[in-house]
Amino acid sequence: MGKNLIIVESPAKARTIKNFLGKDYEVIASKGHIRDLPKSSFGIKIEEDRFIPQYRVDKDHSDITKKLKELAKKADQVYIATDEDREGEAIGYHIAHAIGKDPQELPRIVFHEITKSAIKKALENPRTIDMNRVNAQQARRLLDRIVGYKLSPLLASKIQRGLSAGRVQSAALKLVVDREREIKAFKPQEYWTIDALFNDTIDASLFEFEGKKLQKMDIKTKTQAQNIVQKVKNEPFVVAKIEKKKRVSKSPAPFMTSTLQQAASTQLGFSPKKTMMIAQKLYEGVQTPKGVTGVITYMRTDSLNIAKEAQEAALELIEQKFGKEYLPPKPKTYATKSKGAQEAHEAIRPTMLDFTPQIAKEYLSPDELKLYRLIYNRFLASQMADALFETQTIYFKSPSSTFKATGRKLIFDGFYRVLGTEDKDKLLPELKEGEEAKLTKIEAHQHFTEPPPRYTEASLIKTLESLGIGRPSTYAPTIALLQARNYIELEKKAIKPTDIAFTVIEVLEKHFPEIVDSSFTAKMEEELDEIAEAKKDWQKVLKEFYDPFIELIEKGKKEIKSLKVAQPIGRNCPECGAELVKRKGRFGEFIACSGFPKCRYTEQMEEEAPKSEETCDKCGAPMVVKRGPRGEFLACSAYPKCKNTKPLAKNEPKKLDVKCPECGGEILERFSRRGKFYGCGNYPECTFISKFEPVDRKCEECGYMMAKRTYRNKDIYECIKCKHKEDA
């Protein structure tokens, strides 16, 4: 008698499921898609307005396909157990075809978590492969092949080799390029604020002057600010009004793919790609006290649903661990904002609440533990009571002005009991309305408006999600692809477009505006959702896109001017004697033989270094400006005979206005391989050092010097010694 055969896509998943089932079951992995469009040709046959994909089993999957066929012949029953999303549905469809079975006849089992109970329940309730989901995936695959196969070669022929375009990647790249354009076009504007200290302890800001409520940019000049200070500083003040209000801080929703990637980026420093790789391991199975099992639910989801049993278990644990006051009045549910929440999944949550982060520490790697703790605590917090704050506002009034001081205190910590909070209580003293207030200090501070920040991986994913570009499975691969194509670079977590990105986007904006239009890309995603819901025909969607797109391709071949202008450099090729020319490549300019492709000689461009007025103090040759990892410096033009170098005058260390807290010496801005830092000018006698810029402010906890930094997208002061944090 044959065994039952369960086919999944991942070997790790196969091993975990095998542990749960007896000897009557064989579990094997297809190792991803075993059939796909061919790599070397277009792979789509178009006949009478129908798009017929020419799927092939690739060489890498020929052995596993053969093995699957043999096992399927011997098996009593074959189950498809691939992931429950469009991609998983399509993999199951292709597996069925590859082993010679009708996809509609094979039982399909689905589960959100890889645990023993979930697998057994799935086997008791099989369904058939959902062809609507398969067709939605096929439509996406064919759309991406049409754009990639037709548009990428056009860009390569008109701009430079190695370029690519895609429905989602090009729309995402335009967002990055548009942000950089905003930054370059930005002109800072000056504005001033007036800050005061009352009764020696209460910080307040000017809120109203001469009957007018002040907005951020109302005080534009130093003269205007000084006039206000002069008028106000000798006026008497009273406590005009005291307000106390209760403010609820709502518990956060559990994670879905996009919010997990954002939180892992900002809190753990993980790239989206790394986050998904670790989450995949936690989902497919890790060692636990109960053996190998999946410890989180499926990680590609845009749903915020929670299974009733999981919610009940969470509420039971919260009451047991923290008390009844931490339970919400009624169980919490969260609405999914995404238009295309097409996959009926759960949110990302732990599968076993008794596998706490404390226990997990003994079984998981450090990075696995960090991500698991993030998921575990977020899920628990999502089911807890809201936190409650009391906000305090005091208005100090003089004949011409009103100053406003704000404070708050945490009355009930609620979900913060699990997540913790960096916000310290800022308590205001008890005052009475009508009593006099002493103006201890008043100062005007100059500010300049700042350009919008560059996207980080986290903020780009948030924007893609809000615009409806892509879906949970595409965020991380899109950013990874833009990096691989040399379209973007990461500078201290900020995404910066390269020169070639501007060129590509400019060409696409002019000749293929819909490809880079976020609303068009989002509309296409909605159509794919409608195919999955049987509301649209996938062939019709392909036809409506293909015809106008191909017209633009043909038009582009004629109208797009080639940017591949080869400039002669006045030298001949040392290998064939033909003229050498300057060309643009994927990684910048280079010199190549004009006889290409017969002669493939190339050499790197040597940038001409700008001359300096200084001469070398060792050999007398002119000095030139060079750029190194720490910025520009002067080098002898006689290199390599003379290797003398010296710093540029403009690169001398910048001195801060504050003194070293250890010895009273100068604090200098310095640079190392790891970036900018601040150190004492009396080094090595004094070893004071700070990663962030020190400021003239003492820590409330230990009295040491504080530094200004950005933490979780917020400006704060942080003690250099004890790390105590305060709002800036």
Q: What is the CATH number of domain 190-247+387-448?
A: 2.70.20.10
Which residues neighbour 164 within 8 Å (Cβ) at sequence distance 6 or greater?
A: 148, 152, 155, 481, 485
CB 222 within 8 A of CB 446: yes
Which member of 55, 79, 191, 298 is catalytic?
298
Q: Looking at residues 422-439, what average pLDDT do you find?
A: 89
**Average model confidence (pLDDT) across the chain:** 89
What's the confidence (pLDDT) of residue 630?
54
- Ramachandran region of residue 332, left (φ > 0), alpha (ψ -120 to 50) or beta? beta
> For residue range 275-297, what is the model confidence (pLDDT) as tens digits?
999 999 999 999 999 899 999 99
Please, is 565 exposed, middle or buried when counting C-beta atoms within 10 Å of its C-beta (0-12, 13-18, 19+)?
exposed
Distance CA 717, CA 728 (A): 6
Q: What is the CATH number of domain 4-129?
A: 3.40.50.140
> For residue range 119-162, what is the model confidence (pLDDT) as tens digits?
999 999 999 999 999 999 999 999 999 999 999 999 988 888 88
For tokens 């499975």, name the residue.
Answer: 473
Distance CA 435, CA 236 (A): 11
Q: Looking at residues 696-718, what average pLDDT do you find?
A: 83
* DSSP character at residue 453: P
Q: Compute the C-alpha angle 359/364/365, nearest 5°.
A: 140
The two tokens of residue 57 are 């089993």
Choice between 199 and 591, residue whose per-residue pLDDT is larger: 199
What's the confidence (pLDDT) of residue 342?
42
What's the confidence (pLDDT) of residue 575?
87
Report whether pLDDT(565) > 80: no
Strand partners, 56: 36
Report whether pLDDT(672) > 80: no
Backbone angles phi, psi at 580, to 5 degrees: -85, 140
Q: Is 717 known to be catalytic?
A: no
Cα–chain center distance at 560: 34
Classified as helix, coil or strand, 614 is strand
Q: Which of 322, 416, 338 is nearest to 377 (CA)?
A: 416
Q: Looking at residues 23-33, what average pLDDT do you find?
A: 91
The two tokens of residue 200 are 């020696």
- Ramachandran region of residue 26, left (φ > 0), alpha (ψ -120 to 50) or beta? beta
Q: Where are the domains of the chain?
A: 4-129, 158-184+476-559, 190-247+387-448, 257-382, 567-604, 611-650, 653-727
The two tokens of residue 635 are 């080098």
Q: Taken in order 689, 690, 691, 695, is the CA torsion positive or negative?
A: negative
Report whether pLDDT(586) > 70: no
Instruction: Band the pLDDT of 566: cuts 50, 70, 90.
Output: low
Which residues neighbour 562 within 8 Å (Cβ) at sequence distance 6 or greater?
A: 157, 158
Choice between 386 and 711, residue whose per-residue pLDDT is larger: 386
Report whether pLDDT(58) > 80: yes
The two tokens of residue 9 are 């896509």
The two tokens of residue 46 are 């178009």
CB 107 within 8 A of CB 96: no
Cis peptide bond upstream of 640, omega within 30: yes
> What residue type is 433 in one-letter code?
E
The two tokens of residue 387 are 């936190």
What's the confidence (pLDDT) of residue 340?
47
Instruction: Band the pLDDT of 587: cuts 50, 70, 90.
Output: low
What's the confidence (pLDDT) of residue 335?
84
> For residue range 69-99, what is the model confidence (pLDDT) as tens digits?
999 999 999 999 999 889 999 999 999 999 9
- What is the percentage of the chain residues whose pLDDT exceeds 90? 67
Using alpha carbons, list the distances in angstroms from residue 273 to 91, 300, 367, 479, 483: 21, 12, 13, 9, 12
Q: Looking at residues 163-178, what average pLDDT do you find?
A: 94
Q: Looking at residues 418-446, what average pLDDT do you find?
A: 91
- Ramachandran region of residue 519, left (φ > 0), alpha (ψ -120 to 50) or beta? alpha
Report whether pLDDT(265) > 90: yes
> What residue type is 121 in one-letter code?
K
Distance CA 677, CA 686 (A): 15
> What residue type is 113 in one-letter code?
E
Instruction: Band the pLDDT of 600: cuts 50, 70, 90.
Output: confident
Distance CA 560, CA 579 (A): 27
DSSP for 534-582 reads: TSS-HHHHHHHHHHHHHHHHHHHHHHSPP--PPEEEEEE-TTT-PEEEE
Instruction: Band the pLDDT of 654: cuts 50, 70, 90.
Output: confident
Report whether pLDDT(642) > 90: no
For tokens 């800072």, name the residue.
Answer: 188
Choice between 141 and 577, residue whose per-residue pLDDT is larger: 141
CB 545 within 8 A of CB 146: yes
Classified as helix, coil or strand, 363 is coil
CB 462 within 8 A of CB 713: no
Strand partners, 392: 244, 407
- Residue 359: enclosing H or E segment and its boundaries? helix 357-360
Q: Which one is the CATH code of 257-382: 2.40.110.20, 3.30.565.10, 1.10.290.10, 1.10.3720.10?
A: 1.10.290.10
Cα–chain center distance at 557: 36
Which residues neighbour 470 within 8 Å (Cβ) at sequence distance 6 or greater?
A: 168, 172, 464, 478, 521, 525
Q: What is the three-state SS of 162-216?
A: CCCCCHHHHHHHHHHHHHHHHHHHCCCCEEEEEEEEECCCEEEEEEEECCEECCC
Please, is 684 exposed, middle or buried when counting C-beta atoms within 10 Å of its C-beta (0-12, 13-18, 19+)?
exposed
Distance CA 574, CA 599 (A): 11
Classified as helix, coil or strand, 426 is strand
Report whether pLDDT(604) > 90: no
Distance CA 77, CA 693 (A): 67
> What residue type is 315 in one-letter code?
L
Four-point Cα dihedral 150, 155, 157, 160, nearest 10: -140
> What residue type is 291 in one-letter code?
G
Classified as helix, coil or strand, 139 is helix
Instruction: Band the pLDDT of 393: cuts 50, 70, 90.
Output: very high
Distance CA 207, CA 477 (A): 48
CB 360 within 8 A of CB 352: no
What's the confidence (pLDDT) of residue 338?
56
Distance CA 352, CA 182 (A): 47
- Does the reported pTM lie above 0.85? no
- What is the percentage of the chain residues whose pLDDT exceeds 70? 93
Distance CA 604, CA 591 (A): 6
The two tokens of residue 506 are 């400019």
What's the confidence (pLDDT) of residue 341?
46
Rounded CA Rg of the chain: 32
Report whether pLDDT(713) > 70: no
Q: Which CATH superfamily is domain 158-184+476-559 in?
A: Topoisomerase I, domain 2 (1.10.460.10)
